Amino acid sequence: MAGKVQQLQLLQKNMENILQQKQQLETQHIELDAALQEVASAEKSYKQVGKILIAVPGDLLRKELQEKKDIVDIRLKNILKQEENLKQKIEEVQKEAVKELQGK
């Protein structure tokens, strides 16, 4: 039984980590969406390079932002799959732990 409890605690810790990563990716997604909207309506575009801002063509900046957003979307989709798989695994281990408790 102690093994199931430890396994369940480990799975829950993993779930916390996945949820934290998911939240970070969702925040990045929102920020990139906002940046894309701003660049679309801006007359001039600037990009931060190190500690300075440099002027860049708007279409180039939009392309870079869209590529970053696409990567974040892929990572977010991956995290959502991991979250779903982990939820299922947690449910399985919980059921096994309850059965073990009831069997004793």
The CATH number for 30's domain is 1.10.287.370
Contacts of 76 (CB under 8 A, 6+ apart): 22, 25, 26, 29
Average of per-residue pLDDT across 34-42: 92
For the ranges 3-12, 43-52, 67-76, the maximum mean pLDDT occurs at: 67-76
Share of the chain above pLDDT 90, in %: 76
Query: How many structural domains compose the chain?
Result: 1
Phi, psi of 43 (to 5 degrees): -75, -40
Element (H, E) at 55: strand 52-56
Closest CA to 15 of 91, 99, 74, 86: 86
| Contact criterion met (CB below 8 Å) for 55 and 45 | yes
Residue 72 structure tokens: 């974040």
For residue 77, is pLDDT > 60? yes
Q: List the domain range (segments joined by +) for residue 79.
A: 2-103
- Is the pTM here over 0.95, yes or no? no
Average of per-residue pLDDT across 53-71: 95
